[in-house]
Amino acid sequence: MGCFDEAKSMNFSLYGQWLGIISIILLIALGIVDFTSHWAFSIVGWVIAFLLVLVEIPLCFKLCPTSPKLDGFISYFENCYFRAVMYLVFAVVMFLSNLLSGATPLIAAAVTLLLGAISYGAAAVMGQAFASSRILGGTGTDNVV
């Protein structure tokens, strides 16, 4: 299943995962851009990006050895409800960083995090099973009923 098949699948957890990948890229890139003026929020953005890499990219676990404790923690987030809450908390943190320090480029990352939370929330409300993109090392929607 390619990228276009995943886009046509109407599985909102896949949309949430792709928005998460966009958020990771924005958090890292805009954190670098904004580091000189708002270093604390840039570091918070990098920490969020690191957590999202662990949660969103299944290929990382195939390449890196992990402990059973970390595997158990990550498997806790293979539920659309928990991912929606996690993304919402991350979005609120990034929006608060913009309120506290004035308008920063990190607002773009906050918006994509919010859209990811909405996507995962829609998948949870619609009862869609969690699916991860094949391109990122997941199973795609082949095993989703």
* pLDDT at residue 6, as a whole number: 59
* pLDDT at residue 125, as a whole number: 92
**What does the buried/exposed string (b/e) look like for 64-81 if buried means 16 or more CB atoms within 10 Å of the residue's CB?**
eeeeeeeeeeeeebeebe
Cα–Cα distances in Å, from 7 out to 64, 97, 104, 110, 137? 29, 32, 31, 23, 16
Give the mean pLDDT of 120-129. 88
Task: Provide the pLDDT confidence category of residue 127 given band limits of 50, 70 and 90.
Answer: confident
Q: Tens digit of pLDDT for each residue in 3-55? A: 556 556 678 888 888 899 999 999 999 989 988 888 888 899 999 999 898 88
More confident residue, 95 or 69: 95
Give the mean pLDDT of 111-140. 80
d(CA 30, CA 16): 20
d(CA 74, CA 71): 5
d(CA 39, CA 79): 33
Output the CA angle 71-73-75, nearest 5 degrees.
65
More confident residue, 103 or 107: 107
More confident residue, 103 or 135: 103
Output the CA angle 57-16-64, nearest 5 degrees.
5
* pLDDT at residue 105, as a whole number: 85
Cβ-Cβ contacts under 8 Å for 56 (sequence gap 6 or more) = 17, 20, 21, 24, 132, 136
What percent of the chain has pLDDT above 70? Answer: 80
What are the tokens at 10?
Answer: 């109407």
